[in-house]
Amino acid sequence: LYSSAASDVYKRQTQIMIEMHGRFAPVQAREIAKQIEKYNIGWLEEPVRPGDIPALESVRQHTHLPIATGERLVTKYEFSEVLEKQAAQILQLDVGQCGGITEAKKIASMAEAHYAMIAPHMYCGPVVFAAAIQIDTCSPNFLIQEANQGPLHKKLFKEPLVFENGHIIPPEGPGLGIEFGEHGVCALIVELLGHVAVRVLCISKGQGIGRTGCGTCGQLGQGRIGGGLAHVPVGVLHVANPLDTE
């Protein structure tokens, strides 16, 4: 079944990446690589357990397919060993997990010096995604960016990140190029809190506000105990202990 699917993709001249999620022993990973080398495979991702550099190196030495790893590595120190051993040709650093945007840029530059490419991983949400795009645009060794076009990514910002014909259009605003849409943030809070009863404290006035409307979009909170508010503008309100009903 997998061979047939890979063959169909190959005939369409579309490149596929194989996610192995670190679940295989080196001997298994080498055999899998051997069986799929005839297809247009973009990379083997985490063929062995992350951080096991000798095992990763042994797989790379037995296949001409590019090896990708890095989504579960942190700081430039863990990436440096991968590069020094030439255990992978593609680093999937995650800006939200590897140490932030400055650390990510250092890792990207280290990879460039070792003739390795970067393909940033995207897991930590829309803001980190926007930060990863900034790393991509200033890294000569950028290969491809993992993306998510789920509902959260489309409704959190005033202007959603733009995709056109398989490409991401870098935002042109200041900083990360994004700005939160207050209505989208409020809707997200309601979704996260659900039916949980909360009591809120207005930081700006220092007083409880009980059941009230959102100052941004006018929707009422739906707290189940003590008229708690579940629809709140971010940056103005602080959610207190949900069990405190006094």
Positions marked catalytic: 21, 121
Residues 6+ apart with CB under 8 A from 36: 6, 18, 65
3-state secondary structure 172-217: CCCCCCCCECHHHHHHHHHHHHCCCCCCEEECCCCEECCCCECCCC
Total length of the chain = 246
**CB atoms inside a 10 Å sphere around CB 213:** 13
Coil, strand or helix: which one is 142? strand
Report in angstroms the alpha-carbon separations of 40 from 26, 60, 144. Answer: 22, 17, 16
